[in-house]
A and B are shown apart, each in its own frame.
Chain A
Amino acid sequence: DSGVTQTPKHLITATGQRVTLRCSPRSGDLSVYWYQQSLDQGLQFLIQYYNGEERAKGNILERFSAQQFPDLHSELNLSSLELGDSALYFCASTDSTELLGNTIYFGEGSWLTVV
């Protein structure tokens, strides 16, 4: 158990709909990351938040957005869903106050199926 909690574990929704994925980081971790893993692609970095502020952006679509709340949990919002958005979405966290070379811990992911 990495200590990173993601909900829901599985989600099936229709095209055009909107969903919210939730992530609770490890206790005390200030940074949260979101990754997407499709069947035919590797792990793709989407976005990073640090203590409530957006820190880095990767290949995140404009239809997707994220935020990190004062209690440090994060939500990834996916809207106008398309079939191609079906994927595993991982959240990860780390405490960036640790020494350089610290590790990033991943949750077990949220399976999103768009039908």
Chain B
Amino acid sequence: DAKTTQPTSMDCAEGRAANLPCNHSTISGNEYVYWYRQIHSQGPQYIIHGLKNNETNEMASLIITEDRKSSTLILPHATLRDTAVYYCIVRVPSNDYKLSFGAGTTVTVRA
């Protein structure tokens, strides 16, 4: 699976958009980009995933660059409850669906 690089931490003001970058320059053509988050000591929560097109759901938007070497997760209106560690993961589709988690980005939303 391709390796990802994320900033260690970032702050965001409540009510503002939070833009979380992820670099995956070695991504291969059939790898998907997934985002998960983990609120303190809870189980990781799926947020969104995509292959090449931008995606949006009720939680967030995922913007993938045209060359697919980087992506940005956008939380449109951050709330205090969005404070969590956010993980960007890429993986090769196969019968083995395990996820490899890196260190992620610790996002702190401040009032």
Does chain A bind chain B?
A: yes
Q: CB within 8 Å of B: which residues of A? A: 2, 4, 31, 33, 42-43, 45, 48, 50, 55-56, 58, 88, 90, 92, 94, 96, 100-109, 111
Q: CB within 8 Å of A: which residues of B? A: 32, 34, 38, 41-46, 49, 51, 93, 95-104
What is the CA–CA distance of A49 and B66 in the complex, to the nearest angstrom?
36
Q: Could you jot down 12 A-B contacts, CB within 8 Å? A: A4-B43, A33-B98, A43-B101, A45-B98, A45-B99, A48-B97, A56-B98, A58-B98, A90-B44, A101-B32, A104-B99, A109-B43
**Contact yes or no, A101 B43, CB < 8 A:** no
Q: Which residues of A contact B103 (CB under 8 A)?
A: 42
Which one, A45, A50, A90, A103, contacts B49 given CB within 8 A?
A103
* Chain A nearest Cβ from B43, distance in angstroms: 4
**Contact yes or no, B100 A55, CB < 8 A:** no
* Chain A nearest Cβ from B104, distance in angstroms: 8
**Contact yes or no, B95 A55, CB < 8 A:** yes
Q: Which residues of B contact A101 (CB under 8 A)?
A: 32, 49, 51, 93
**Contact yes or no, B95 A90, CB < 8 A:** no
**Contact yes or no, A96 B95, CB < 8 A:** yes
* Chain B nearest Cβ from A87, distance in angstroms: 11
Q: Which residues of B contact A92 (CB under 8 A)?
A: 43-44
